């Protein structure tokens, strides 16, 4: 039976597709977007996250660490990111949940046991199951097996994707999914690479395939000030989606809610600035002038 | 407002000269003024009832108690000060605005204990004027040793040779007749449709026809006393008619004058005669409700299915164009003010346990006698009234069932979004099943039509509208205390008294089964004591404070000639409320897990840590806190909690039938007893420290211990208790309003309600919180673990968010509102 790396299963998700849903978050992403609000989702291996606010300075972690990676910060304990192997022993012993492991190997059955628990909620709300990430399709066979299993139960399948996925796997995904929440981050290949680490040729191919299929697609755009909100980019989007007669777009304005997770992973948060309501209004008008209908999610 | 505004213009044009004599120009501003006054002025304890009480008891010494009670009722209604305050619905509780009466017949201990303490009632600060203070002191001397609770404890001591005060002091139970409590949903429709004059003739006839035999003595006394009360209620309404007429003479503004003259006409007519329209019906309703509350200001006299019995009057006036929906809404707001005015104060412990809750619940939704959706347009206006008023009283309760109209449910969601937590939801199917099961054992059984006509009273309990009243039973035992007593072999660690039973030295227990057996033994002991005590409390209640007018307002009492406390109503019931079950279940789970399954602790280590209130053993407290807990949809814990509640039900039934002779289901809910008992208890194995409030509700998760999300909590909560075998369950969930935004938010809530009910849950209340609450949650995360907020494209538990994110959400909530 296939298995893979899951970093969270969120029951009662109400913003990841229709109705009440369970969202299965797979760990691992081929993209590294500058604004990523779930930085722990990028690597495919388990990672120890250290939330310093919660540390009570009891020192249990220092006692159990086999690598000498726990360092004293006066009243609290930090980590030496070079020495830490993400083995998770400190997280196991931490009594205040300041140290937590993100990511664990689960089998399809283990995931399904949790997914099935809320079936009545799906029935009563026209909800279902959403796969998110990371990039869920990066889970490969594991992802496809889960999607198939969910489909076999008769639950609605939503895939929240960046679209960066080998073409054959993506075409299989199209068959399994009832709905895509499909990110459109930038239309220009060079800019796309600058912002996310990869160019968008494959993504546009998959977007094309999804939009040409029977599977429902909601186009979503993380909106970043000065990065992808230019008139030029929006014009390019309008040109691309015109072919499919699509003008509805869900926009997700930049927010800094993931900031503390960067700190927890020992990483620097590179984004700065959010939209003021006025600025957002200007950008939204830009969309409208190109015939888009925007919804903020 | 959207549903209303569409009809507004066309109707007001046609009916502007109608709308009865009310001066509509000033109506809305009067509502605001009255509400502002209530919310800002301190409550005042009015001395007049104390004066009447002392005089009447002196004058009628030697009379039967029901007659004295009737004469006291008459004295109050005919001699209390009355006044007009701009509300076109007349009748206030006391002789002053925002007034409160004392009810010393139940309990006077608080008078002595608290004379110098800060006072608290339902609306905040309360003033006790010097005159009241003097009378209170005098009353204390007159009533000391004679009150209901004194009588209860005296009877116990005489019968069992033990002073029962030690049990209450240890926090095993709350003495239920130390405050006025009981009642239910009176038959308001009877007076609206037939009038008191009809009842007078009926009772007179029964009185005359009742054979003058000794066995009929009590019947005689009740009938003659009831007649006194009917006349008093009519006289009370006529006093208002006179006052309005007199005031009208001096009134120069023609619109105000017209309103006063109409008020006089209405008060001259109702409640003596049948109401002919909505305007008269609302006044008649209020005079009856007020009279019931004046007789005994008890928590849980509820108007019930107001939207049903008032509907024909509403429909007629709307159809004939006598009132617009807007005008009805304004009248309802005036009525909301009247409910809010009612308040009570019976000592500080009363304030702690009930938080000043007057329990005036209006039930909406439900089904008709044939099982079809009964919801009415008038009920949608009740929801709109609450949306606009955001009152703490009256409360709204929705009897939810799958046949409800979508548009109606959307109005419900709109109201819940408003933040008052209303309406709370009851599962109508569970209520009907429970009612059928409960009354099947009664001599005359129950009809399906009556079972379908249940309503909510007080907090979360249910009874048959107009035909069944209740009295509290079992003195609200605290189940968490049972664990504490078990862990101390029957000795209360707080009072150091042996109030429990010897159930074995816990350090010697070799298996969890032994622990659980000892727990059951202690539980049996508690139920045994509280049953004995509360059975005697019913005798004390009958002897000291039987209700007369209230009894007449329930079907059955007049026919049988028996007051409701003695089981006169068609479906009398007792409500044994039990509190803090989840604290006990979680504590037992923690012992099982830590001491026996994983052997992380010895029992002695656990006992030592509890004894020291986890002092210096924060590691053990964390272990206890993180041990398996109810609320996470995990099979093992879930089946244990179910077993626990099943066993509790069996042990309760083993105490034998209740004081009416029937098998009674336990009511599992907390009121504010979780605060009261929490303050009296030491540390618990669930990781709770001494003195901290216990878990609220009866199937809510202990704060901070549910980590699987709302769907898991809802499944656990709905299934923890067999809501047919139990009289009630009680479950609270908190949201920030943004989670319920827009059409999808409405769908979310409706789906949660439906699924909770599908799983068999009985009660759930969804609270939408303000930014102030969020700030409080930031400072006191332990109290808000179940609070869900929308972050950005996802929802999360508020207390687990980064502080910066929390601040962001607080800002946004302020912006939203």
Asked if A13's CB is within 8 angstroms of B794's CB, the reply is yes
Indicate the SS3 state at residue B553: coil
Report chain A residues whose CB lies below 8 A from the CB of B633.
Answer: 117
Asked if B633's CB is within 8 angstroms of A117's CB, the reply is yes
> Considering all CA atoms of chain A, what is the largest pairwise distance in Å, rounded to the nearest integer?
62
Domain range A3-44+103-296, CATH class: alpha beta
CA distance B144 to chain A (A): 53
A:69-98 residues touching chain B, CB 8 A cutoff: 95-96
HEC profile for B60-119? CCCCCHHHHHHHHHHHHHHHCCCCCCCCCCCCCCCCCCCEECCCCCCCCHHHHHHCCCCC
Mark the ranges of chain B whose per-residue pLDDT is less than 70: 1-17, 115-125, 348-357, 782, 785-786, 790-796, 800, 812-817
Asked if B802's CB is within 8 angstroms of A117's CB, the reply is no
**Close Cβ partners of A113 (under 8 Å, ≥ 6 residues apart):** none
Topology of domain A47-102, per CATH?
Alpha-Beta Plaits (3.30.70)
Q: How far is CA B795 from CA B569, B740, B752, in A?
A: 49, 11, 15
Q: How deeply is B45 buried, as exposed, middle or buried, from its count of CB atoms within 10 A (0-12, 13-18, 19+)?
A: buried
Nearest Cβ partner for B747 among A53, A125, A297: A125
Domain boundaries, chain A: 3-44+103-296, 47-102
Report chain B residues whose CB lies below 8 A from the CB of A125.
Answer: 747-748, 751, 755
Asked if A118's CB is within 8 angstroms of B711's CB, the reply is yes
Full-model pTM: 0.90
Report chain B residues whose CB lies below 8 A from the CB of A124.
Answer: 751, 754-755, 758
Query: Alpha-carbon distance B128 to A32, whole Å?
Result: 68
Q: Which of B777, B786, B776 is nearest to B733 (CA)?
A: B786
Residue A270, chain B, CB below 8 Å: the answer is no
The phi and psi torsions of B391 (rounded to 5 degrees) equal -85, 160
Q: Do domains A3-44+103-296 and A47-102 have the same CATH topology?
A: no
Residue A17, chain B, CB below 8 Å: the answer is no
Nearest Cβ partner for B755 among A37, A53, A120: A120
Q: Complex ipTM, two decimals?
A: 0.87
A:103-162 residues touching chain B, CB 8 A cutoff: 117-118, 120-121, 124-125, 127
The phi and psi torsions of B108 (rounded to 5 degrees) equal -120, -5
HEC profile for chain A? CCEEEEEEEEEEECCCCCCCEEEEEECCCCCCCCCCCCHHHCCCCCEEEECHHHCCCCCHHHHHCCCCCEEEECCEEEECCCCCCCCCHHHHHCCCCCEEEECEEEEHHHHHHHHHHCHHHHHHHCCEEEEECCCHHHHCHHHHHHHHHHHHCCCEEEEEECCCCCHHHHHHHHHHCCEEEEECCCCCHHHHHHHHCCCCHHHHHHHHHHHCCCCEEEEEEEECCCCCCCHHHHHHHHHHHHCCCCCEEEEEECCCCCHHHHHHCCCCCCCCCCCCHHHHHHHHHHHHHCCCEEEEC
CA distance B448 to chain A (A): 28
Buried/exposed code over B271-280 (b: 16+ C-beta within 10 A; e: otherwise)? bbbbbebbbb
Residue A269, chain B, CB below 8 Å: the answer is no
Asked if B804's CB is within 8 angstroms of A121's CB, the reply is no
Interface size, chain A vs chain B, as Cβ–Cβ contacts under 8 Å: 75
Give the pLDDT confidence of B329-348 residue by residue, as tens digits: 999 999 999 999 998 877 76
Asked if B751's CB is within 8 angstroms of A19's CB, the reply is yes
Nearest Cβ partner for B708 among A11, A20, A127: A11
CA distance B622 to chain A (A): 7
The phi and psi torsions of B548 (rounded to 5 degrees) equal -110, -60
Specify the pLDDT at position B362.
Answer: 97
Mean pLDDT for each 10-residue chunk of chain A (297 residues)? 93 90 96 93 96 86 95 93 95 87 97 97 97 96 98 97 97 98 96 96 97 97 94 95 93 85 90 86 94 91
Here the tokens at position B472 are 């509290």
Report chain B residues whose CB lies below 8 A from the CB of A20.
Answer: 711, 748, 751-752
Report chain B residues whose CB lies below 8 A from the CB of A11.
Answer: 708-712
Nearest Cβ partner for A11 among B711, B759, B793: B711
CA distance A118 to chain B (A): 7
HEC profile for B653-718? HCCCCCCCCCCCCCEECCCCHHHHHHHCCCCCCCCCCCCCCCCCCCCCCCCCCCCCCHHHHHHHHH
Asked if A19's CB is within 8 angstroms of B804's CB, the reply is no
Q: What torsion, rounded to 10 degrees, do the Cα atoms B384, B388, B392, B398 define?
A: 20
Substitution target from B755, B760, B791, B799 for chain A, most A beta carbons within 10 A:
B755
Asked if B792's CB is within 8 angstroms of A124's CB, the reply is no
Report chain B residues whose CB lies below 8 A from the CB of A120.
Answer: 755, 758-759
Specify the pLDDT at position B132.
Answer: 87
Asked if B791's CB is within 8 angstroms of A124's CB, the reply is no
Report chain A residues whose CB lies below 8 A from the CB of B710.
Answer: 11-12
Residue of B nearest to A256 (CA): B805
CA distance B395 to chain A (A): 28
Specify the pLDDT at position B121.
Answer: 47
Residue A231, chain B, CB below 8 Å: the answer is no
Specify the pLDDT at position B817.
Answer: 38
Asked if B795's CB is within 8 angstroms of A15's CB, the reply is yes
Nearest Cβ partner for B622 among A95, A127, A256: A95
Which residues of B sit within 8 Å Cβ distance of A? 618-619, 622, 633, 708-712, 715, 739, 744-745, 747-748, 751-752, 754-755, 758-759, 790-795, 802-805, 808
**Close Cβ partners of B231 (under 8 Å, ≥ 6 residues apart):** B74, B200
Report chain A residues whose CB lies below 8 A from the CB of B708.
Answer: 11
Specify the pLDDT at position B787.
Answer: 73
């Amino acid at each position: 039976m296939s298995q893979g790396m899951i970093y969270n299963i969120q029951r009662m998700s109400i913003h990841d597709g229709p109705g009440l849903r369970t969202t299965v978050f797979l760990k691992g992403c081929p993209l590294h977007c500058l604004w990523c609000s779930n930085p722990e989702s990028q690597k495919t291996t388990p990672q120890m996250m250290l939330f310093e606010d919660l540390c009570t300075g009891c020192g249990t972690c220092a006692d159990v660490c086999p690598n000498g990676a726990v360092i004293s910060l006066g009243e609290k304990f930090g980590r030496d990111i070079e020495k830490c192997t993400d083995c998770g022993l400190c997280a196991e012993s931490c009594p205040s949940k300041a140290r937590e492991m993100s990511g664990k190997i689960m089998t399809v059955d283990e995931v399904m046991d949790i997914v099935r628990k809320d079936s009545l909620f799906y029935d009563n709300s026209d909800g279902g199951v959403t796969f998110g990430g990371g990039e869920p399709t990066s889970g490969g066979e594991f992802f496809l097996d889960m999607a198939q299993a969910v489909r076999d139960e008769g639950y609605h399948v939503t895939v929240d994707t960046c679209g960066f996925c080998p073409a054959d796997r993506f075409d299989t995904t199209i068959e399994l999914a009832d709905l895509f929440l499909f990110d459109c981050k930038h239309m220009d290949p060079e800019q796309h690479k600058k912002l996310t680490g990869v160019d968008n040729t494959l993504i546009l191919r998959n977007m094309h395939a999804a939009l040409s299929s029977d599977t429902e697609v909601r186009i979503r755009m993380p909106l970043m000030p000065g990065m992808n909100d230019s008139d030029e980019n929006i014009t390019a989007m309008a040109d691309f989606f015109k072919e499919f007669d699509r003008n509805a777009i869900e926009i997700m304005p930049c927010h800094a809610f993931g900031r503390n997770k960067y700190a927890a992973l020992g990483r620097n948060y590179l984004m700065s600035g959010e939209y003021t309501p006025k600025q957002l209004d200007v950008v939204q008008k830009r969309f409208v002038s190109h015939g888009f209908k925007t919804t903020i999610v | 407002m959207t549903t209303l505004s569409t009809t507004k213009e066309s109707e007001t044009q046609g009916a502007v000269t109608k709308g009865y004599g009310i001066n509509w120009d000033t109506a809305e501003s009067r509502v605001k003024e009255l509400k502002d006054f209530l919310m800002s002025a301190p409550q005042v304890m009015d001395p007049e009832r104390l004066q009447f009480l002392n005089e009447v008891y002196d004058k009628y010494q030697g009379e039967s108690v029901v007659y004295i009670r009737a004469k006291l009722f008459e004295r109050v209604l005919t001699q209390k000060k009355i006044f007009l305050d701009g509300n076109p619905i007349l009748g206030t509780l006391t002789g002053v605005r925002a007034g409160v009466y004392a009810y010393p017949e139940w309990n006077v201990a608080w008078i002595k204990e608290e004379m110098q303490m800060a006072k608290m009632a339902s609306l905040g600060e309360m003033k006790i004027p010097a005159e009241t203070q003097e009378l209170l002191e005098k009353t204390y001397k007159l009533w000391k040793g004679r009150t209901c609770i004194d009588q209860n404890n005296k009877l116990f001591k005489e019968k069992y040779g033990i002073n029962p005060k030690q049990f209450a002091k240890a926090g095993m139970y709350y003495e239920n007749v130390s405050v006025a409590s009981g009642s239910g949903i009176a038959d308001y429709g009877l007076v609206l449709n037939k009038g008191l004059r009809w009842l007078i003739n009926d009772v007179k006839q029964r009185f005359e026809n009742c054979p003058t035999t000794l066995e009929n003595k009590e019947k005689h006394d009740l009938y003659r006393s009831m007649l006194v009360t009917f006349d008093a209620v009519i006289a009370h309404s006529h006093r208002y008619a006179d006052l309005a007429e007199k005031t009208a003479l001096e009134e120069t503004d023609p619109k105000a004058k017209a309103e006063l003259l109409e008020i006089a006409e209405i008060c001259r007519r109702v409640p003596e005669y049948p109401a002919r329209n909505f305007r008269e019906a609302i006044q008649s309703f209020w005079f009856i409700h007020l009279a019931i509350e004046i007789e005994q200001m008890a928590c849980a006299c509820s108007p019930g299915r107001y939207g049903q019995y008032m509907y024909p009057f509403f429909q007629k006036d709307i159809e004939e164009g006598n009132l617009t929906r807007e005008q009805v809404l304004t009248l309802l707001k005036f009525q909301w003010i009247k409910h809010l005015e009612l308040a009570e104060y019976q000592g500080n412990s009363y304030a702690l346990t009930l938080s000043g809750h007057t329990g005036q619940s209006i039930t909406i939704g439900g089904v008709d006698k044939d099982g079809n959706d009964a919801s009415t347009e008038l009920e949608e206006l009740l929801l709109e009234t609450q949306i606009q008023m955001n009152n703490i009283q009256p409360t709204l309760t929705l009897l939810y069932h799958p046949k409800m109209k979508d548009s109606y449910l959307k109005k419900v969601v709109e109201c819940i979004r408003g933040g008052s937590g209303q309406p709370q939801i009851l599962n109508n199917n569970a209520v009907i099943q429970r009612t059928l099961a409960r009354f099947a054992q009664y001599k005359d059984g129950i009809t399906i039509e009556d079972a379908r006509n249940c309503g909510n009273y007080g907090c979360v309990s249910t009874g048959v509208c107009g035909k069944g009243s209740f009295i509290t039973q079992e003195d609200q035992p605290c189940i968490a205390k049972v664990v504490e007593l078990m862990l101390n072999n029957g000795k209360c660690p707080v009072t150091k008294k042996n109030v429990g039973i010897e159930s074995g030295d816990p350090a010697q227990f070799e298996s969890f089964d032994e622990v659980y057996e000892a727990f059951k033994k202690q539980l049996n002991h508690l139920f045994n004591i509280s049953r004995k005590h509360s059975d005697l409390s019913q005798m004390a209640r009958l002897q000291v404070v039987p209700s007369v007018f209230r009894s007449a307002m329930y079907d059955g009492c007049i026919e049988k000639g028996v007051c409701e406390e003695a089981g006169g109503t068609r479906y009398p019931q007792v409500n044994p409320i039990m509190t803090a079950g989840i604290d006990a279940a979680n504590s037992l789970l923690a012992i099982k897990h830590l001491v026996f399954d994983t052997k992380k602790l010895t029992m002695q280590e656990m006992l030592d840590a509890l004894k020291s209130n986890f002092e210096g053993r924060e590691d053990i407290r964390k272990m206890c806190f993180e041990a398996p807990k109810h609320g996470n949809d995990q099979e093992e814990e879930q089946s244990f909690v179910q077993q626990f509640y099943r066993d509790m039900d069996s042990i309760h039934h083993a105490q034998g039938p209740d004081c009416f002779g029937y098998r009674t289901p336990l009511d599992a809910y907390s009121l504010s007893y979780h605060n009261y008992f929490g303050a009296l208890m030491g540390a618990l194995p669930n990781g709770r420290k001494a003195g901290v409030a216990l878990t609220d509700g009866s199937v809510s998760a202990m704060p901070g211990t549910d980590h699987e999300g709302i769907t898991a909590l809802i499944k656990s909560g709905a299934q923890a208790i067999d809501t047919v075998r139990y009289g009630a369950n009680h479950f609270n969930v908190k949201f920030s309003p943004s989670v319920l935004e827009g059409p999808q938010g409405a769908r979310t809530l409706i789906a949660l309600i439906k699924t909770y009910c599908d799983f068999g849950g009985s009660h759930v209340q969804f609270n939408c919180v303000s930014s102030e609450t969020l700030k409080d949650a930031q400072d006191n995360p332990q109290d808000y673990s179940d609070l869900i907020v929308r972050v950005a494209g996802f929802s999360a538990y508020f207390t687990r968010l980064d502080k910066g994110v929390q601040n962001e959400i607080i800002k946004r909530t302020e912006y939203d509102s």
